């Protein structure tokens, strides 16, 4: 899934390690939202839909999640015409 960075809107990323699900210690999922809560909700939905996790598994995985605002370096500059 491609996420478009929108100028002048807050953007958050939720990074969830999913080693417990896949057995791959380097595997993680990333979801995005306009708030930290939105990014967490996106991760919850993805874990439930794609990985068939139940509430307990999702809760355990989200405890290990890292939620951060995306840096301003990610925001595209407006063209200078």
Q: What are phi and psi of 48, to 5 degrees?
A: -70, -45
Q: 16 pairs with which residues across the strands?
A: 29
Element (H, E) at 22: helix 19-22
Structure confidence at residue 28 (pLDDT): 95
CA distances from 40 to 7, 18, 77 (A): 21, 14, 27
pTM, two decimals, is: 0.76
Structure tokens at 59: 């809760």
**In the chain, where the domains are located:** 12-73
Instruction: Please write the tens of the pLDDT for every residue from 23-67.
Output: 998 999 999 998 999 999 999 999 999 999 999 999 999 999 999
- Residue 70 is predicted with a pLDDT of 82
* pLDDT tens-digit readout, 59-78: 999 999 999 998 654 555 56
């Amino acid at each position: 899934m491609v996420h478009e960075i929108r100028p002048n809107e807050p953007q958050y990323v939720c990074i969830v390690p999913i080693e417990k699900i896949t057995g791959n210690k380097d595997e993680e999922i990333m979801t995005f939202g306009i708030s930290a809560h939105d990014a967490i909700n996106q991760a919850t939905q993805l874990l439930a839909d794609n990985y068939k996790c139940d509430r307990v598994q999702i809760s355990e995985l989200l405890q290990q999640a890292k939620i951060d605002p995306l840096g301003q370096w990610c925001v595209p500059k407006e063209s200078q015409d």
